[in-house]
C-alpha cells in the first residue's frame, strides 16, 4: 500500500516513475534519476548508480536492524530461560543488515517516535508516514462492551516471540476467567509450539485458530 501511494504521489506531481521489485537483483539503471526512493533492502547497491545529483530517500518500515535484532534476541533468550526451548529465527524476526539510513539523505518511517529514535543517531531528516490500512470498518455503535469485556484477540503474522505471544500466553494461563483467541501462523513455528503446546491447544480459555485468516473475513 505504501509503495503504491509513493509511486502515485510522484505521478501526480508530474514525474515519470520506474518501479523495481526489491527481489530484482539484476536491475541496473541506464539513465540518471532526480529522486530515488528505496526500501531498506540493498539500498546501498543503488547509492551511486542513479547519479550524484539524485535525491535519495530511504523508506524504513521497521526499527533499525541493530536495535531490532538485539531486542528480539533478548526476547528469545528470556523465553529460553523460562521454557527451556530455543526458537528459530522465524519466531525472532531477524532483520538483514543494511546501511540504508547511512546512504540516504532523507528518510520516511512507519511507526512512532520510538521507531524514529532508533535512526536518529544518523542525524538525517526523518518524516513519519501514518500506517496505511487495507480495510475500513464502521464503528459498531451498538456493541455491548459488558459482554465482550473478558474476550481478547491476538491477531498477527509470523514472529511469535518477537511479537510477544509467549508473554500473552503466560498471562492468560493464569487468568482462566478471561478468554483469548489467537489468529496467526503459529503452527509454522515448531519450536514455539513445542514450548507452548499446552497453552495453545489444551487450555479451555485459549482458542488457537489454525491456518491463514484473511483480514476482511467474518471470523
pLDDT in tens, the chain (219 residues): 778 888 999 999 999 999 988 788 788 777 888 999 988 887 877 766 666 788 999 999 999 999 999 999 999 999 999 999 998 877 888 888 999 999 999 999 988 999 999 999 999 999 998 877 767 788 888 888 888 899 999 998 889 999 999 999 999 999 999 999 999 899 999 999 999 999 999 999 999 987 777 777 666
- pLDDT attached to residue 50: 60
- pLDDT attached to residue 51: 63
- pLDDT attached to residue 4: 86
How many whole angstroms separate alpha carbon 148 and alpha carbon 181?
12
- pLDDT attached to residue 81: 94
CA distances from 20 to 27, 82, 157 (A): 8, 44, 25
Helices 165-172 and 65-83: angle between axes, nearest 10 degrees? 30
Alpha-helix runs per DSSP H in 13-44: none
- pLDDT attached to residue 186: 92
- Residue in the structure block whose three cell numbers are 489454525: 210
- 124, 105 Cβ separation under 8 angstroms: yes
Amino acid at each position: 500500500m505504501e509503495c503504491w501511494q509513493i509511486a502515485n504521489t510522484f505521478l501526480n506531481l508530474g514525474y515519470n516513475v520506474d518501479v523495481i521489485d526489491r527481489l530484482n537483483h539484476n536491475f541496473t539503471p541506464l539513465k540518471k534519476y532526480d529522486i530515488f526512493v528505496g526500501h531498506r533492502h540493498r539500498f546501498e547497491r543503488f547509492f551511486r548508480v542513479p547519479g550524484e545529483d539524485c535525491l535519495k530517500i530511504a523508506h524504513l518500515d521497521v526499527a533499525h536492524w541493530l536495535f531490532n535484532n538485539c531486542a528480539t534476541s533478548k526476547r528469545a533468550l528470556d523465553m529460553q530461560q523460562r521454557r527451556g526451548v530455543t526458537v528459530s529465527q522465524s519466531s525472532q524476526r531477524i532483520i538483514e543488515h543494511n546501511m540504508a539510513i547511512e546512504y540516504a539523505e532523507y528518510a520516511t518511517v512507519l511507526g512512532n517516535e520510538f521507531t524514529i529514535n532508533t535512526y536518529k543517531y544518523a542525524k538525517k531528516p526523518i518524516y513519519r508516514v501514518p500506517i496505511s490500512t487495507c480495510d475500513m470498518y464502521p464503528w459498531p455503535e451498538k456493541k455491548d462492551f459488558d459482554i465482550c469485556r473478558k474476550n481478547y484477540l491476538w491477531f498477527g503474522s509470523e514472529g511469535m516471540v518477537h511479537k510477544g505471544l509467549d508473554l500473552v500466553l503466560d498471562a492468560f494461563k493464569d487468568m482462566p476467567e478471561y478468554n483469548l483467541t489467537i489468529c496467526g501462523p503459529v503452527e509454522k513455528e515448531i519450536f514455539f509450539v513445542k514450548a507452548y503446546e499446552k497453552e495453545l491447544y489444551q487450555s479451555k480459555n485459549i482458542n488457537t485458530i489454525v491456518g491463514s485468516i484473511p483480514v476482511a473475513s467474518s471470523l
